[in-house]
Each structure stands twice: as C-alpha cells, then as structure tokens.
C-alpha cells in the first residue's frame, strides 16, 4: 500500500532532475554525448556521481563536452570513447575497448542519432538513418550486454522519437531504400525500429533467469538540438514560427531519458516522453507507443534481420 501511494504521488507531480537518485558507483555509457540530449543526459548523470563514458564520433567535440562538464563540476568522473555508429568496425572496436576497461556497466544509453538526412549510406552500405539509429545501437548493445546482465539495476535505454508514428513502417523488401528514398519515412523506420528492438530485448531479458537488466525507451518530444539541421528549407520558416509552442530546450528534452535511466519505479518495456500537448514538451511521464511497435512478430523479424546484417548475436 505504501509503495502504491508513493508511486501515485510521484505520478501526480512533475518529475525533474531533483528526483534522480545518487548515481555514485554506477558506470554509464552514453552515445552521442558531445551535444544536445546526449550531452545533458551525460552531464546530469556525472553531476549525480556516476562514472560517465562519452561515446562520441568526434574526439575533438567529445573533449570539448568533457571540458564543459568538468568546468561545471571539477570532481566529475568522466571519460571519452570514440564511437562511429555508422561503422560496424568502429562499433566493434569501441565495444572491445569498453569491455577491456569495464567489467561491469550499469547503464547503456543509446542516444545518438541522425534525422532526415539526404540519401547517404554508412560505411557498411546501410541507409544512414537505419544504419546509425538502429543497426549501430543494436550491434553495440549486443556486444556489451554481458557486461550489464549480471548487474542489479542495470538498464539499456534507447531513445526513440515521435517520428516512429510518422509514415513509419519496416520496409523489409527495401530496408536500405535503394528503390527510392524518402527521408521522413526512412527516419520513421529507424525510430520504429528503436522501439521494436527495445520491446524484443525486454522480452528476451525477462525470459532469462540470470539477467538483472531491463530495456526501456524514451523520447524527447520536440527539442531544440542539432538533430534538426537537415530540416528541409521549405519547412524551416514554419518550424521557427511554431518553435515556442512545439519545441523545448535540450535540457528539458533529456528528462525522459534520465527518468527511464534512473527512476526506481521504472519497469522493463516502458516508454517515457513529455507530458505536454501532443507529447511535444513538458516533464517526463509514462507514455504509449504505436500499435505497430508492439507487434511481436514484427519485433522478432526485425531482430533476426538485424542479427544477419550486423553479425552480432545477443547472449539472451
């Protein structure tokens, strides 16, 4: 009864950074942590005492982010790991480096991403958004998961988007968009894939009696970050006009991820997003993803294809 009352009290007020428990002793890996949502996620966790690894594509930008965090809190325990999610070789090298350094990992936060890019391919020939947002994180998670599985309270948090509802489907007949490219639909595919991956991973973890890890997802709503740099020119004036209504700061946008990563009441397979109008902005709360994201057959099929494309097989 006391637990239920406490949970209801939490849901009836605005969850904020002040609710994050002490993170001392925890090892956290955050992808795309040099800017935007990833930076604020990493910074807050470092401020709360975690040892945070900034997993970033650009060491130069990563070092700048690290310096900003240390300047704000000189005792912050923070390191850098080079990681290019658009290259499976880089993912494997980063995973090997992390495995050799950390016998345990408490939090893996799959945050990095690209949005609405012009037609490009990764170093392995995958469509850039699907390859970076989904396949890169799928491979990284699989290669690190045995460092999380025995750790009580460990979590894999994957950042999706409201875009998982917009013209989103998994195009198994043309996953790499070789027959015609639609940047918005390709982004939707990658963000839907993030959720399908999370739910399938959670089901596998729940079925493993030795796994202490849960898989959770979050989305930032409309956040003012560099992710929107590929916004089509014709849309930019309207976006700027609606920005005060639809967009919030990256600091606020990071809160759903932080809640998914740290709130003791979070359960595996849950999804967190802003509590405001159309989930565009506000404080984090438990939200619902699309019906397609809960299709178990779709989850299993994408998992099998992802294993085949990356060559990574999970220990669950």
Which tokens is 174 given? 């043309």
Annotated catalytic residue within 187, 199, 271, 272: 187
Q: Which residue has the tokens 């097989």?
A: 313
Nearest one of 234, 279, 283, 246 to 263, comparing CA atoms: 283
**187 in catalytic set:** yes
CA–CA dist 89, 80 (Å, integer):
18
CA–CA dist 168, 108 (Å, integer):
25
Nearest one of 117, 39, 126 to 76, comparing CA atoms: 39
Distances in Å between the Cα of 301 and the Cα atoms of 168, 172, 309 are: 16, 9, 12
CA–CA dist 220, 248 (Å, integer):
9
| Residues with active-site annotation | 187
């Amino acid at each position: 009864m006391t637990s239920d009352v406490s949970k209801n009290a939490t849901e009836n007020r605005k969850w904020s950074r002040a609710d994050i428990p002490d993170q001392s002793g925890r090892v956290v890996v955050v992808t795309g942590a040099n800017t935007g949502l990833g930076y604020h996620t990493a910074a807050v966790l470092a401020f709360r005492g975690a040892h945070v690894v900034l997993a970033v594509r650009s060491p130069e930008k990563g070092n700048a982010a690290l310096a900003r965090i240390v300047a704000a809190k000189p005792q912050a325990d923070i390191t850098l790991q080079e990681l290019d999610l658009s290259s499976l070789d880089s993912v494997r090298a980063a995973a090997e480096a992390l495995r050799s350094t950390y016998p345990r990992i408490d939090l893996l936060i799959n945050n990095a991403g690209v949005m609405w890019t012009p037609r490009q391919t990764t170093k392995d020939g995958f469509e850039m958004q699907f390859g970076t947002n989904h396949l890169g994180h799928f491979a990284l998670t699989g290669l690190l998961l045995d460092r999380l599985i025995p750790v009580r309270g460990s979590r894999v948090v994957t950042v999706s988007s409201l875009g998982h509802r917009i013209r989103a489907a998994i195009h198994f007949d043309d996953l790499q968009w070789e027959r015609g490219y639609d940047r918005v639909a390709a982004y939707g595919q990658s963000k839907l894939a993030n959720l399908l991956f999370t739910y399938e991973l959670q089901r596998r973890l729940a079925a493993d009696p030795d796994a202490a890890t849960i898989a959770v997802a979050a989305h930032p709503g409309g956040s003012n970050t560099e992710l929107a740099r590929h916004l089509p020119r014709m849309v930019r004036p309207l976006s700027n006009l609606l920005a005060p209504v639809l967009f919030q700061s990256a600091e606020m946008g990071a809160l759903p991820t932080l809640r998914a990563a740290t709130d003791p009441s979070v359960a595996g397979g849950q999804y967190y997003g802003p509590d405001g109008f159309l989930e565009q902005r506000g404080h984090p709360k438990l939200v619902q993803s699309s019906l397609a994201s809960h299709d178990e057959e779709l989850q299993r099929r994408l998992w099998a294809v992802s294993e085949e494309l990356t060559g990574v097989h999970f220990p669950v």
